[in-house]
Amino acid sequence: MTQNATLLIKATIALNRYFGYPSFRDGQQKAVESLLARRDTLAIMPTGAGKSLAYQVPALVFDGLTVVVSPLISLMKDQVDALEESGVTAAFLNSSLTAKEAAERLTGVKRGKYKLLYIAPERLETEGLRALLQDVPISFVAVDEAHCVSQWGHDFRPSYGAIAPFIQSLPVRPLIGAFTATATEEVKADIIRLLGLENPKVLVTGFDRPNLSFSVLRGENKQDYVLSYVEAHSAQSGIIYAATRKEVDKLTEILAGHGVLVTKYHAGLPDQERNEGQEGFIHDRKPVMVATNAFGMGIDKPDVRYVIHYNMPKNMESYYQEAGRAGRDGDPAECLLLYGAADVQLQKYLIEHSVSDPQQKQKELRKLLQMVDYCHTDRCLRQAILQYFGEENVPDTCASCSNCTDERESVDVTLDAQKILSCVYRMRERFGVVLVADVLKGANTKKIREMGFDSLSTYGIMHDCPTQAIKDRINYLIAEEYLHLAGGEYPVVKLTPKSAPVLKGEVKVWQKITSKPLRATKDAPGLFEKLRRLRLEIAQREGLPPYIIFADRTLREMAERCPLNRNDLIRINGVGELKREKYGEVFLEVIHKFLRERDVSGGTSPHSL
Q: What is the pLDDT of residues 78-110, one digit of tens each?
A: 889 889 999 999 999 988 888 899 899 999 999
Q: What are phi and psi of 327, to 5 degrees?
A: 65, 35
Confidence of residue 403 (pLDDT cuts 50, 70, 90): confident
Instruction: Provide the 8-state DSSP code for 215.
Output: E
Confidence of residue 157 (pLDDT cuts 50, 70, 90): confident
For the segment 536-543, the average pLDDT, to the nearest whole number, is 91
pLDDT tens profile 258-281:
999 999 999 899 988 988 998 899
pLDDT for the residue 515: 53
* Of 61, 42, 51, 56, the residue nearest 4 (C-alpha): 61
Confidence of residue 514 (pLDDT cuts 50, 70, 90): low
Q: Which CATH number fits domain 3-204: 3.40.50.2020, 3.10.20.30, 3.40.50.300, 3.50.50.60?
A: 3.40.50.300
Superfamily of domain 212-407 in CATH is P-loop containing nucleotide triphosphate hydrolases (3.40.50.300)
Confidence of residue 340 (pLDDT cuts 50, 70, 90): confident
Sequence-ordered list of residues with C-beta below 8 angstroms from that of 457, at least 6 positions apart, any chain: 422, 426
Asked if 86 contacts 19 with a C-beta cutoff of 8 angstroms, the reply is yes
Integer CA distances (angstroms), 52 to 233, 362, 494, 599, in order: 29, 34, 50, 42
pLDDT for the residue 522: 38
Confidence of residue 457 (pLDDT cuts 50, 70, 90): very high
pLDDT at 39 over 90: yes
pLDDT at 513 over 50: yes
Confidence of residue 186 (pLDDT cuts 50, 70, 90): confident
- The yes-or-no answer to whether 3-204 and 527-608 have a common fold is no
Cα 289-293-297 angle, rounded to 5 deg: 85
Asked if 49 contacts 276 with a C-beta cutoff of 8 angstroms, the reply is no
> What's the CA gap between 233 and 286, in Å, rounded?
13
Q: What are phi and psi of 494, to 5 degrees?
A: -130, 155
> What's the CA gap between 542 and 567, in Å, rounded?
25
pLDDT at 489 over 70: no
What value does the mean pLDDT of the chain take?
88
Every domain of the chain and the residues it spans = 3-204, 212-407, 410-513, 527-608
pLDDT for the residue 470: 92
pLDDT for the residue 154: 63
> What's the CA gap between 391 and 385, in Å, rounded?
9
pLDDT at 606 over 70: no
> What's the CA gap between 471 and 435, in Å, rounded?
10
pLDDT for the residue 602: 46
pLDDT for the residue 190: 94
For the segment 536-555, the average pLDDT, to the nearest whole number, is 89
**E strand spans, 378-499:** 409-412, 483-486, 492-495
The structural architecture, per CATH, of the domain 410-513 is Orthogonal Bundle (1.10)
pLDDT for the residue 297: 61
pLDDT for the residue 1: 63
For the segment 467-481, the average pLDDT, to the nearest whole number, is 86
pLDDT for the residue 608: 37
Q: Where are the alpha helices (DSSP H) in 430-545?
A: 433-441, 446-450, 467-479, 499-503, 527-542
pLDDT tens profile 13-33:
999 999 999 999 888 999 999
Q: Amino acid letter at 292?
A: T
Of residues 568 and 65, the one with the higher pLDDT is 65
pLDDT for the residue 379: 83
| Alpha-carbon 579 to chain mean position | 28
Confidence of residue 408 (pLDDT cuts 50, 70, 90): low
Percent of the chain's residues with pLDDT above 70 = 94
> What's the CA gap between 130 and 126, in Å, rounded?
6
**Whether the model pTM is above 0.85:** no
pLDDT for the residue 151: 77
pLDDT at 189 over 80: yes
pLDDT for the residue 523: 36
Q: What are phi and psi of 354, to 5 degrees?
A: -120, -15
Cβ neighbours of 588 (radius 10 Å): 19
pLDDT at 501 over 90: yes
pLDDT at 414 over 80: yes
pLDDT at 388 over 70: yes
Of residues 599 and 311, the one with the higher pLDDT is 311
Of residues 345 and 516, the one with the higher pLDDT is 345
pLDDT for the residue 330: 84
> What's the CA gap between 127 and 108, in Å, rounded?
18
pLDDT for the residue 177: 97
State whether residue 260 is helix, strand or coil: coil
Residue-wise burial string across 148-157, b where 16 or more C-beta atoms lie within 10 A, e elsewhere: bbbebbbbeb
Q: What are phi and psi of 511, to 5 degrees?
A: -130, 130
Q: Regarding the domain delimited by 527-608, which CATH topology (the fold level of the hierarchy) does it fall under?
A: DNA polymerase; domain 1 (1.10.150)
Confidence of residue 599 (pLDDT cuts 50, 70, 90): low
pLDDT at 516 over 60: no
Asked if 123 contacts 96 with a C-beta cutoff of 8 angstroms, the reply is no
pLDDT at 519 over 80: no
pLDDT tens profile 275-325:
899 889 989 999 999 999 888 765 778 899 999 999 999 999 889 989 989
Q: Determine if residue 503 is left, alpha or beta; phi over 0 gives left, psi from -120 to 50 gives alpha, anything else beta.
A: alpha
Cα 380-384-388 angle, rounded to 5 deg: 170
pLDDT for the residue 485: 83
Integer CA distances (angstroms), 156 to 148, 150, 153, 354, 482, in order: 4, 6, 6, 13, 37
Of residues 523 and 23, the one with the higher pLDDT is 23
